[in-house]
A = this chain, B = another copy of it.
Amino acid sequence: MKADIITIGDEILIGQVVDTNSAFIAEELNSNGIQIRKIHSIPDLAGDITSTLDESIQSSDLVILTGGIGPTNDDITKKALASYFDSKLVVHEKSLEHIKKRFSGMKIELSDRNIKQAEVPEICEVLPNRNGSAPAMVFRKEDKIIISLPGVPFEMKTIVQEEVIPLLNKAFQLPVRIQKTVLTVGIPESTMADRLKSWEESLSSNLNFAYLPSPGLLRLRLSISGEDKKRMHKRLDDKTTELVQIIGEKHVFGFDKDTLAGVVGRLLNEKSLTLSVAESCTGGNIAHLVTSVPGSSVYFKGSVTAYANEIKTQIIGVKETDINSFGAVSEPVVQQMASGIKKIFKTDYSIATSGIAGPDGGTPEKPVGITWIAIGTPDKLISRKYLLGDHRERNITKASLIALNMLRNSLL
């Protein structure tokens, strides 16, 4: 069972908006066992719509189009579809009622433009759009299904989940496909690939494995297709367990939609522990990640960004003599930052960072990318040095994630 997605709109082709609709639709279809063959983004041109539709119908069982059914002149998808299916546009009474109700609710007068939105090709089946004015349309051609949806993400999403997925489940015998993503930190993609080589080669053909890297993180996705859902879940769980064993729990921080800050927060919360942070090179980013988690105020007391050395000494209590002897980027300083903030903020755990984020400030002895990270726990201090790279933004991201993972490991 294959599908094509066609997103329509000039704004996509000039790079003015990022097309997030196709990713949403792809995920919804994929998790219902429908494989996406191709995603097309095309301009608001009737010729492009019909030629892309032709190609898609030839290769796929299902085609989903989004966009180009709004009230303005550049929205021509509906006309193109009417001509493609050789059907005339007629007013859909139920949709007109719905539009009238919406506008009177918002105390806005109905214009001709709005009434025209209730027009659809006569042969289509209409799916209601409860968040907007443009009705969604379903066409059938032989055993293929073509669905045209509005491009406004929040209207489209509701229609997909409430109308399209049930319709597809009725129309097609959908295969079962389930997946699990293992989230890792601290191992580069190529090293990971070497470590997993023989395991990967041993996977059976109904199992699919993919590497999804992003700065500081590497996500590993396992997916399985088949018929017996219970057995598939069991097999996916077994393979996931193997994967975690090979990689090591130290580097696996979670699964699927987990975030590192969220996982750390859950651990702190469960154990009723508190956290403080003293940041130099990460400049506030660790505090930002920690506080991005809703409810973080329960365990996070606060942080100090100690960019100037005098803040390190006067606020966090780092010894000035140690900064002079070893430099601000050194093990003694990062350790004193971790123990100092823990004591002053009266928390159970603490994180501290000190490094050279770049692009300037490096020396032959301490190059750009050098980063000291320390974790303060109730009974000890852990500190480690990392060499990250030469890109400021990535160094900040990587150091923040490594630090959060060090904390996670201390909490386990």
CB proximity of A327 to chain B, nearest CB, Å: 14
- B70 and A10: CB pair below 8 A? no
The verdict on A213 contacting chain B, using a C-beta distance below 8 Å, is yes
- B10 and A39: CB pair below 8 A? no
| Chain B positions within 8 Å of A360 at CB level | 294-295
| Chain B positions within 8 Å of A359 at CB level | 294
CA distance A154 to B391 in the complex (A): 10
- A392 and B294: CB pair below 8 A? yes
Interface string of A55-73 (1 = CB under 8 A from B): 0000000000000001111
Tallying the copies of this chain within the complex gives 2
Interface residues of A in 283-308 (CB under 8 A from B): 283-288, 290-292, 294-297, 300-308
The verdict on A122 contacting chain B, using a C-beta distance below 8 Å, is no
The verdict on A311 contacting chain B, using a C-beta distance below 8 Å, is yes
- A193 and B26: CB pair below 8 A? no
The verdict on A190 contacting chain B, using a C-beta distance below 8 Å, is yes
| Chain B positions within 8 Å of A181 at CB level | 16
- B39 and A114: CB pair below 8 A? no
A21 to B, closest residue via Cβ: B18
Residue from the list B14, B29, B284 in contact with A287, Cβ < 8 A: B284
- B294 and A284: CB pair below 8 A? no
The verdict on A266 contacting chain B, using a C-beta distance below 8 Å, is no
- B308 and A287: CB pair below 8 A? no
Interface size class of A (residues with CB under 8 A): 35 or more
The verdict on A205 contacting chain B, using a C-beta distance below 8 Å, is no
Residue from the list B106, B154, B200, B297 in contact with A387, Cβ < 8 A: B106
Query: Other CB < 8 Å A-B pairs besides A16-B212, A38-B42, A283-B287, 13 of them?
Result: A12-B23, A15-B22, A15-B25, A15-B29, A17-B23, A18-B20, A38-B52, A70-B189, A74-B209, A106-B369, A106-B388, A285-B288, A292-B396
Interface string of A38-59 (1 = CB under 8 A from B): 1111110000100010000000
- A70 and B302: CB pair below 8 A? no
A306 to B, closest residue via Cβ: B302
CA distance A396 to B291 in the complex (A): 10
The verdict on A107 contacting chain B, using a C-beta distance below 8 Å, is yes
CA distance A30 to B211 in the complex (A): 32
- A387 and B105: CB pair below 8 A? yes
